[in-house]
Structures are given as structure tokens and as C-alpha cells.
Amino acid sequence: MTTIDTHVTSTPATAGPGLASIGAWVTTTDHKRIGRLYLGSTAVAFLAAASVALLLGIERISPTREWLSVGSLTQLFALQRFGLTYLVLLPLMVGAAVAIVPLQVGARSLAFPRLAAAGFWAWLLGAALAIFSLVNNGGPGGGDRVFVDLFLLAVGIVAAGLLATVISVMTTILTARAPGMNMRRVPFFTWSVLVFSLTVVVALPVLIGNLLYLYVGHKFPSLSGLSSNLALDGVAGAAFSQPTTILFALPVFGFLAETVATSTRQRLRPRGIIFTAIGLVGVAVFATVIQSAVTLRPAFLDLSLSEKLRDLVPFALVHGLPLLGAFLAVALAAKGLATKPKVSAPLVFGLFAALLALLAVAANALAHIGDAGLIGTTFEEGNWLALVFAAVLATMGAVAYWGPKLWGPSLATKAALPLALLAFAGAALSSLALMVAGFADQAGGVFPSIVTGTEPIVAFDYSGPMTLWNTANAAGIALVLLAVLVFVALSLRTFIKGDAAGDDPWDGLTLEWATTSPAPYDNFVDVHIVQSAEPLLDLKPSNRSDA
């Protein structure tokens, strides 16, 4: 099925003064605007959630220094986990996909654009309600019954909103591709978004179902385990942790392949293997569906052969295959870099993001080996943080790369490159520090409940070099925050006051570079015929490295 959406019947939303402009944004069905709404809102959410993570990092530096009230720590950990996963990691990828995928596949609009827009507003409403409930003693471990209920409802609304937008994006890829663009010819980023969408369509409803159980259980109390205000961790905690969160960061690998192909101006090969590698990362969705941790039992080597196989086969499926896929995706893209790449900010952001994601996928496999003794430690948190920061770096790269198509001007590589280095250094420092602390048995958890007594005892105290690793973690988060803040400021200045970058500033290979910058409301004047995976490279033989 290779078709293109031509049903753009609504008129372009024109920006006017005051309320008219706000109304145009609120009612927009333009995928580029919906994507920008996601990215803008997520930038604000990141600054807030990462600030909470920084506060918690500082709090953990020393057991005697208590900046924060012990009573609020459970809520703050919940805010950090929920915020960075469902208000940052997933919506960043969804926002980038909504903004770019229709341009990449040559569609004039999203399929079901109103559904995508409704998804965004539902997500925003759910996010506001969730934060409101956490502030009012709701959420996991919360003391106010009404606000605990509200938090469960709000997380459900957030998930439903994101799901609605993802369905819209997935349908666009399946039905609105330009003539000639079969599945083997879709750009790498679009392919990764398709795999991402497939897995999200399976993973998010599982979370919503469990939230429904918890909501009914908590609303109508009994001795049921579902009535506990801490039940979220046990029943739905998997949706906030690895390997589910690996699925949420899947487009990172597609973005790397995309930027490598553009930077080297070559047909990145073997295309089928790269597609398969990205698909293998998505196999982790099986772990989400079965809703139980797949681990190698402690003393694995002492087990009988049949018992070893019983552990090893599911482990290889849900942890081994994604690791193989992530490694292949990064390795094949890196192989492409052997041929004189033009170093650009998007390429560096993409490379760093993919390295972080690969680290997280590898760490996830390690965390599920029983003999490593990492379950219940901060190793999981470091692993999760690496994925969140991978998505943040990839989105910064996406803004640098596709900024001209969304806003017009282009970010200066000289200004953006140091930020990529700074953000990567911070991300690696913060996540690795927590992983090392996990090896030293610093206690952690998805929604850790803080033990309180006559003497406040925080669960993360341990006898190892606590100050060193927690200081490194806090410093790393501070560096990422600083990098993102400067990047947002740079982007605002460039996109508001900068000069137009031209239609094809990167000498790109894919369809989005065949339209004007910024792209018009309905993306393309003509319906284009695609005859290869790199349609623009066919027209630019002088740039072909393989010509």
C-alpha cells in the first residue's frame, strides 16, 4: 500500500494577535505544530523533573544532610520517575515523530490529525493533574486518598493521550507514504518510529489496564493488595522501568542512522540488517507483555542443564535480542562513519544518544542476571537515567537537524557541538555513578518507599563511598540541566531571530528536504514519486560517495 494523504480539507491555522493566535495553536491539526507543542511542553517538563532529580541527588550525598523532608521523599522519587518517563522520555520521542514522520514519508498531513491533537491535550491535562496530585500528598505512598486516586487517573490520562498520538503516527506510516515508498524505502528514523509505535501500542494499554485495577481497588478499599497506596510499584512498576523504557527510546537508533547517512552522503548499507537490528530492540516488548521480570536465577551455573535452558531462553529473547539489535544498529552506523563524514551537531548528538541507549540496553541485561546482585539497587535507576538522557540528546539533535523544516533557521553547529559534549558528559557521569553505587549495594527502586521511624532513616543510605558516587550523580544531572537550558535559549534565539537556513541545509537524502524551509501547512506542493530509499541522492549525483 503506497498512498499519500490528500485530504487536507481544513484551512491552515493563521497566527494572529492575542487570543486568535492562542486559538490557532489550541485548535491546530498541523502535525508540525502538534510536534512543536509536544517538544516545547516536554522541555519545560524536563527542566522541572530534572531539577527534582538534582535535588534528590544532592539529598543522597550525605546521610546527615537532609535538605528535604523525609515525608516528602517518596512523592519526590515518584515525581522524578513519572516525570522523566512519561513527561519527558516518551513524549519527546512522540513529539519528534509527529513533527517529522509525515514530512519523511511524503504525506501532506497526519492520519487522524485531530486524534493526535486530542492526544497532546489529554497528555498535558493528565500531566498537570498528576503533578497537582503529587504536590497534594497523592501518588505512591501518598497520605491523601483522593489525591492518590487522582494520581492513578492522571497517569492513565497521560498514557491514553500518548497512545492516541502514537496510533495517529503509526497509521500515517502505514497508509500515507508517497507513491513508490515501500517499506524497505522508508527512512531509518521513520522505520524506528514504526517499530516504536508498534511496541508502544502494545505496552501502554497494559499500563492502563493495571492502573484501572489500581484505581478501582483504591477507590473501593478492602484488604486487597490493590487498595494499598504503594501498590503502583508492584502492579505497574514495570511500565516505569527497563525493559519497557528501552522501547520508549527506540527512535534514538533510527536517528543515528539517519544522521550518519546524511553526514556521509551515502546509501547506508546493509539497509535490511539495520532495519532488522532496530526491530530486534523492539523484541523487548515481550517482557512488558508478560509483566514479570525475566532473570537468570542466582547460582545459575550450578543449575542443571534443563533448568539453565528454562532461564536462558526467555532471558535471551527479552534481553539478549534487544542487546544484539542495539549493538548492530550502533555498529553498522559507526561503520558508515568510516567514509569521510561531515561533522555536524545532529550527528554528534545522535552518536552520543545512541551510545547512551546502547549502554542502557547492555546494563539492563546485566541487571537481570541474578548473580550480579543488582536487583533492588540504584543500578536500575542509573540504567533508566541513561535512557532518559539518550532521548534528551537525540531530541536536541533532532531539533538541530530538522529545525529548518519546523521553524526556518538552523542552529549553528559551532554553538551546538559543545552542548552535545557537555550533555553527554553529564549524562554518562550521572548514570554511571548510580550504576557503580548499585554495585556497592546502594538501595534503590522504581518507586522506593522511604523508611521512617523515630530517627529518619532513608533507604538509600549504605556503608560504601556514598558521598563520591552521589556527588558524581548530582553533578552529572546539573551538567545535563545546564546543557539543556543553554540549548533551549540558543534554539529560541535562533528560531525567533535567525536567518532562514535554506530548503536543504544538510544536503539531505530523504523527502523532507524536497520541500521549503519551514515546510508549508500541507508539506508538499506536489505528490512525489519515490524510486529509491534515498530519493534526493538520486537527483544529486555529484554528492554521491558511491557514484
- At residue 194, the 3 state secondary structure works out as helix
Question: Comparing C-alpha atoms, which of 97, 76, 96, 164 is closest to residue 124?
Answer: 164
Question: Comparing C-alpha atoms, which of 340, 341, 3, 30 is closest to residue 180?
Answer: 3
Look at phi and psi of residue 502 and say left if phi exceeds 0, alpha if psi is from -120 to 50, else beta: left
**CB of 109 vs another protein, minimal distance in Å:** 11
Q: Which is nearer to another protein, 207 or 256 (CB)?
A: 207
Q: Which is nearer to another protein, 170 or 329 (CB)?
A: 170
Cα radius of gyration rounded to whole Å, the chain: 23
**CB of 85 vs another protein, minimal distance in Å:** 18
The three grid cell numbers given for residue 157, joined into one nine-digit string: 490520562
CA 382 vs CA 355, 358, 430: distances in Å: 15, 13, 7
**CB of 129 vs another protein, minimal distance in Å:** 20
Q: Which is nearer to another protein, 410 or 431 (CB)?
A: 410
Q: Which is nearer to another protein, 273 or 525 (CB)?
A: 525
Query: How open is the CA angle 214-125-172, to the nearest 5 degrees?
Result: 95
Note the residues at the interface with another protein (CB under 8 A). Answer: 1-7, 111-112, 163, 167-168, 170-171, 174-176, 178-180, 201-210, 212-213, 215-217, 220-227, 235, 289-292, 503-504, 511, 513-516, 526-531, 535-536, 539-540
**CB of 532 vs another protein, minimal distance in Å:** 11
Handedness of CA 469, 475, 478, 483 (dihedral sign): negative
The 3-class secondary structure across 376-422, one letter per residue, is CECHHHHHHHHHHHHHHHHHHHHHHHHHHHHCCECCCHHHHHHHHHH
**CB of 28 vs another protein, minimal distance in Å:** 20
Q: Which is nearer to another protein, 222 or 454 (CB)?
A: 222
Residue 276 and residue 254: Cα distance in Å, rounded? 12
Q: Which is nearer to another protein, 145 or 308 (CB)?
A: 145
Residue 280 and residue 126: Cα distance in Å, rounded? 32
Q: Which is nearer to another protein, 37 or 285 (CB)?
A: 285
**CB of 239 vs another protein, minimal distance in Å:** 10
The three grid cell numbers given for residue 374, joined into one nine-digit string: 543488582
**CB of 81 vs another protein, minimal distance in Å:** 20
CA 350 vs CA 88, 93, 392, 425, 485: distances in Å: 17, 13, 10, 14, 19
Look at phi and psi of residue 441 and say left if phi exceeds 0, alpha if psi is from -120 to 50, else beta: left
**CB of 475 vs another protein, minimal distance in Å:** 39
Q: Which is nearer to another protein, 29 or 75 (CB)?
A: 29
**CB of 18 vs another protein, minimal distance in Å:** 34
Q: Which is nearer to another protein, 474 or 536 (CB)?
A: 536
